[in-house]
Chain A
C-alpha cells in the first residue's frame, strides 16, 4: 500500500508525516495522543545513512518526549548491498538503530512496527523485529528470499521447496507464514484506526514470539528448546 494512503487513513489528510527521499518521519496525533512516526518507503535499501536517519528520530524522541510511542512504517528491500556501506560498518549502524529502539522500550516507550509494503532480512531485523510487536497489512510481503533464489542457494529443486512450503511456514515468503511463526503478531484487516488502537492497547514488553510461534503451530521447536536450556542440569 502507498504510504500516503496509509497515513491518511490512520491520521487524516493533515497527518504531518514527511518524505525525504526514501525516509519517512513526522509527529502525528492519534486519539489525542502524540506519536512519533519513522520508517521508509520505495522498497528502500537500508544503508548506513538510512539507519542513522531513523536512529536520529528515536534519539530525539527519547530526549525530548519521554514515553512517547514510536510507530515504525516498514517498506524495505533489505540491507544496502554496497562495498562503501560495508566499509563504513553497516552492521554497526544497524545495531545502533536496533539499540536505540531497544533503549526506547526500556525507558517506557511503546515501539510498534507495521509492515505496510515489504520487509526483507537485514532491513527488518533492526526495525519491526526489534519492536515490542510487529503487525502487517495482509497484502504485505515478508521474506528472506524467494523460492527460486532459495533453490539456487540450497541446490534443492524449487518444486520440492514449493511442496514443503504448503505445510511448513519456515521455507516460503508470506505474511501469513510470519504470523504462524510468531514473527508478526497480527494482520490489520478492515478499519486501520481500530487496528492501531488495538495494537497500542496491547503492546507486550517481553518477547513472546517463540511462545506465539508454538501456540500457532508455525514454529514448534524454538520455545521448547529455550525451555530445555533453562532446565538443563
Chain B
C-alpha cells in the first residue's frame, strides 16, 4: 500500500496511470514559470505547480492534471490556471474518454490574487463545457492540503469525486474561519473537529463525494477506472434534485458533524471518526 497523500503530484501520476503512459504537455523543460512570483522575488516552479497531459488508464485514452500541493499550496495562479483551462479546452476538441483531476489546492494563489480568481472561474466554465459534452470529469482528492477555495467549487462541478478518508473538501480553511470569527467558531488546531467537518468520511456520508477510499494509490486507481464511464450531464431535472437535497440541509439546526450524522439516522455517530473506510461505507451514504 502506497500512501497517496505522501506522494508528490508526479509520483501520483506515475503510480496511478498505466505505466509510462503519461505524456506531459508544457513540461518543466519549457520553464513556464509565473512572472508575478518572479516580480515578488518568490521562488517559482518550472511547471507552476501543475502537471498536465494525456495518458492511458486501463488502456483507455484520458487527459489528466495533477496539482502539486507542496508548491504554493497548490494555489491557482495565472499560468497554473491557464494550463488547466488549456487541458479542458483540448479535451473538448480531442474527446478523450475522461479527464482526471488530481486536485490539491488551497484555491486562488494569493500572490497573484486577481489573476488567480479569474483563472479559477475560467477553469469552472471550461470544465462545465467538457461535462456538457458528455466527457466525464473525475476529481481525486487525497493530498494532505485538501481541496479548498475556488477549487472546492470546481470539484463539485465535476461528474464524479473520489476522496480518501484523510482528504478534505471545503471552501474556507479552518484557519481563515478562526481568524475571522474566533476560536470558538472553529478551532483550527482541533484536528478531530477539522476532519469531521470537512474530511472524506463526512463528505461521503452526506453524498458530497461519490467514492471513499483508503489513502492508497492503488485504491484511487481502481476508483478512477470505475468512474471512466460515469458521465452526468447537467440537466434541469438533475439541478432540481440537487436543489432539493441542499435545501433539506438547511433544516439541520447545529454546527457539529456528530449531531448532523445523528440527525441523518446514523447510529453511534461519535464512533464514526474511528471507523475504517470499509466500516464507514457499510453505513451507507445519506
Contacts and interface: CB of A to CB of B under 8 A. Distances in A.
Contacts of B128: 98-99, 102
Interface string A119-147: 00110111001100000000000011100
Main secondary structure of the interface of A (DSSP, over half): helix
Contacts of A5: none
A213 B116 CA distance: 13
A216 B170 CA distance: 34
B61 to A, nearest CB: 16
Q: How large is the interface on B (under 10, 10 to 19, 20 to 34, 35 or more residues)?
A: 35 or more
A6 interface: no
Interface stretch (B218-226, B249-257, B267-275): B249-257
B234 A219 contact: no
A232 B240 CA distance: 40
B254 to A, nearest CB: 7
Given A81-B180, A170-B114, A122 B86 contact: no
Interface stretch (A12-20, A35-43, A82-90, A186-194): A82-90
Interface string B105-122: 000101111111111111
A83 B85 contact: no
Nearest to B114: A170
Nearest to B85: A226
A229 B153 contact: no
A81 B208 contact: no
A170 B78 contact: yes
A55 B25 contact: no
A221 B35 contact: yes
A92 B249 CA distance: 12
A125 B246 contact: no
B208 to A, nearest CB: 5
Contact of A225 (B26, B114, B198): B26
B89 interface: yes
B155 interface: yes
Nearest to B80: A225
Interface in B22-38: 25-26, 32, 35-36
B162 to A, nearest CB: 16
Nearest to B52: A229
A87 to B, nearest CB: 5
Contacts of A223: 82
A201 to B, nearest CB: 22
Contacts of B176: 81
Interface string A62-76: 110000000000000
Nearest to B119: A222
A124 B152 CA distance: 14
A169 B114 CA distance: 8
Contacts of B170: 86, 90-91
Contacts of B247: 52
A38 to B, nearest CB: 14
Contact of A81 (B89, B172, B197, B246): B172
A106 interface: yes
A79 B180 CA distance: 12
B118 A213 contact: yes
A223 B25 CA distance: 16
Interface of B: 25-26, 32, 35-36, 39-42, 52, 78-79, 81-83, 85-87, 89-90, 93, 108, 110-122, 124-126, 128, 132, 149-150, 152-157, 169-172, 174, 176-177, 180-181, 185-186, 197-198, 202-203, 206, 208, 234-236, 239-240, 242-243, 246-247, 249-250, 252, 254-257, 260
Given A102-B128, A130-B121, A130-B124, 7 more contacts: A83-B255, A86-B172, A90-B172, A125-B150, A170-B115, A222-B78, A230-B89
Interface of A: 48-49, 52, 55-56, 59, 62-63, 79, 81-96, 98-100, 102-103, 106, 121-122, 124-126, 129-130, 143-145, 150, 153-154, 156, 160-161, 164, 168-173, 177-178, 181-183, 207, 209-210, 213, 219-230, 232
10 contacts: A81-B177, A82-B181, A99-B234, A121-B117, A125-B124, A144-B110, A144-B113, A144-B117, A222-B82, A226-B85
Q: A-B pairs with the 6 shortest C-beta distances? A: A229-B86, A95-B156, A144-B113, A129-B121, A225-B82, A91-B152
